A = this chain, B = another copy of it.
Amino acid sequence: MANVTVNFIECKDKKPKPNADKIAFGKHFSDHMFVMDYQADKGWFDPRIVPYEPITLDPAAMIFHYGQTVFEGLKAYRTPRDRILLFRPEKNFRRLNLSSDRLSIPAIDEELALNCLKQLLKVEKEWVPKAEGNSLYIRPFIIATEPNLSLAPSQTYQFIIILSPVGSYYKEGIQPVRIYVEDEYTRAVRGGTGTAKTAGNYAAAYKAQERATKEGYSQVLWLDGVEKKYIEEVGSMNVFFKVNGEIITPELNGSILEGITRMSIIEVLKDWGIPITERKLSLEELYEAYEQGQLEEAFGTGTAAVISPVGELNWGERKIQINKGEIGELSQRLYDTLTGIQTGKIADTYSWTIEVK
């Protein structure tokens, strides 16, 4: 199925591209999108590239009522030599299927999906921004479309990919963020949907983010749902700490999303011979390390920011500053390495990038 024919209906009225230095995240979309349908009796069918246009759904479509939906997020980068690169996109389609499994959504053919994405990017290659630090954000998602208020998995779905040119995450250089430890609201719990990239996890986090913002913090640090003791994620990112020369990141415990930046960072650290441990890490332990002067760096990882240094933590009223509120040496080196590989500026010794030709 991976070499199936993708129908193409060309958009008549091409949109102007947004001004490179004024791009707001997630508000501009390219001229075309990819769509594929699913019916229980036919499987996935009719892959097509069509003009970017509204979706029309029955008001009883299951996506509106029972939340059967999954998504992914990745980027296409333009290199200085005008090549277009994707960073480990097969991992995104792998994870999309893992998310789908949790949400009782039928799997897609991962190879087919990647081929279709490449075809869409060929059509839309002018939409991959040229400006330094900018990129084309790619949002694949699946929604349940059957009009039926019964509590059961949908019999029909749509798989859609939309593209959005985005600006540099760090317009004025990397700014470490101040983090508020959330101890009331819960992002996810074992047996729940925390390991899946599904809509419901995200809106559920807004209340905590609201409070953090009100208190003057930019992100939330999430604790585990069971004991409210162990560190899980920061905002919608995975999180790493450098303690006395060792890097520690929370282990994949059944409620943490397995980030593709996370797995790449771990591989790079191992490659560099820097000790990296995936394990349970309590806030109490982290604060003790701080007291002993051993907490050297902290950073979130994700597709949007790649590396987001943490400059301050506030747990109750226990505020600590990490690395004088500045980006650490290792954080910077990891950022330069990952973004260098993604944008083709340094050699991709890991074979992580795929060129769209």
A interface, CB within 8 angstroms of B: 24-27, 29, 33, 52-61, 63-69, 71, 102-104, 137, 139, 141, 143-144, 147-153, 160, 162, 164, 184-186, 188-193, 198-207, 209-210, 225-226, 228, 235-236
Interface residue from B54, B147, B192 paired with A56 (Cβ < 8 Å) = B54
Q: Are A185 and B189 in contact (CB under 8 A)?
A: no
Contacts of A185 in B (CB 8 A): 191-192
Apart from A55-B58, A63-B199, A152-B206, what 10 extra A-B contacts exist at CB < 8 Å?
Answer: A27-B147, A27-B148, A52-B59, A65-B141, A66-B203, A151-B205, A188-B192, A189-B226, A198-B204, A200-B200
Interface residue from B27, B186, B210 paired with A192 (Cβ < 8 Å) = B186
29 interchain pairs, CB-CB under 8 A: A24-B150, A26-B149, A27-B147, A27-B149, A29-B59, A29-B60, A54-B58, A55-B64, A59-B162, A60-B139, A63-B63, A64-B141, A64-B199, A65-B141, A67-B67, A67-B198, A67-B200, A67-B201, A102-B207, A104-B203, A104-B206, A144-B203, A151-B202, A151-B205, A184-B191, A185-B192, A189-B225, A191-B225, A225-B226
A188 vs B193: C-alpha distance when bound (angstroms): 10
Contacts of A202 in B (CB 8 A): 65-67, 151
Contacts of A235 in B (CB 8 A): 151
Q: Are B199 and A193 in contact (CB under 8 A)?
A: no
Closest 8 CB pairs of A and B: A200-B200, A26-B149, A67-B199, A186-B191, A66-B202, A104-B206, A189-B189, A68-B203
Contacts of A64 in B (CB 8 A): 55, 63, 69, 71, 141, 143, 199
The residue in chain B whose Cβ has the minimal distance to the Cβ of A62 is B203
A33 vs B71: C-alpha distance when bound (angstroms): 30
Name which of A141, A189, A210, A236 has the most chain B CB atoms within 10 A of its CB.
A189
A148 vs B225: C-alpha distance when bound (angstroms): 29
A53 vs B68: C-alpha distance when bound (angstroms): 22
The residue in chain B whose Cβ has the minimal distance to the Cβ of A70 is B203
Name which of A152, A199, A235 has the most chain B CB atoms within 10 A of its CB.
A199
Contacts of A27 in B (CB 8 A): 147-150
Q: Min CB distance, A92 to chain B, in Å?
A: 15
Query: Given the interface contacts A60-B29, A226-B225, does A67 sit within 8 Å of B203 by beta carbon?
Result: yes
A210 vs B162: C-alpha distance when bound (angstroms): 31
A287 vs B342: C-alpha distance when bound (angstroms): 57
Query: Given the interface contacts A185-B191, A192-B189, A192-B192, does A203 sit within 8 Å of B59 by beta carbon?
Result: no
A236 vs B71: C-alpha distance when bound (angstroms): 25
Q: Are A164 and B149 in contact (CB under 8 A)?
A: yes
A139 vs B65: C-alpha distance when bound (angstroms): 9
A33 vs B64: C-alpha distance when bound (angstroms): 15
